[in-house]
Amino acid sequence: MIAALLYIVTVGFYLFTNFQETSLKEAVICMVVVGIYCFWHLAIPPFAATPNFYTERAFGVVPFVSMWAILFPHFAINQNPTVTRTLGWIGLGAMTIILAIFKLFVR
């Protein structure tokens, strides 16, 4: 539930504030990937038999940190925006792969 709210707030914040920093094509791809990730994480079984606070936080928060790095790279003041976006894509890709391994191979 919190992930869906965070997703809606982030997309809304991007649409109403920032169109110049990230290309629209890259932003739409990022929003679609994070939307699919959230749906996959929250709606498709198997779920963890014993939910752990740290794993749930990692699966829930890290993709949104990556999404913010991709959509709003100017918040990292000391970093080049290209580097910030690249690190965001690496983080999102890594969490998607880890979630896929968890969903497919952990029972």
pLDDT at 42: 85
Residue 48 Cα distances to 39, 55, 75, 91, 99, angstroms: 16, 9, 34, 22, 11
- pLDDT higher at 86 or 1: 86
Decide if 18 contacts 72 (C-beta within 8 A). yes
pLDDT at 19: 63
pLDDT at 107: 64
Residue 49 Cα distances to 11, 45, 79, 102, 107, angstroms: 31, 11, 40, 12, 8
Whether 15 shows a pLDDT value over 90: the answer reads: no
Mean pLDDT along residues 82-98: 94
Angle between helices 53-71 and 2-17 (to 10 degrees): 10
Question: What token pair was written down for 85?
Answer: 């976006």
Query: pLDDT tens digits, residue range 29-66?
Result: 999 999 999 999 888 888 777 777 777 778 888 899 99
1 pLDDT band (50/70/90 cuts)?
low
Q: How far apart are CA 32 and CA 50, in angstroms?
A: 29
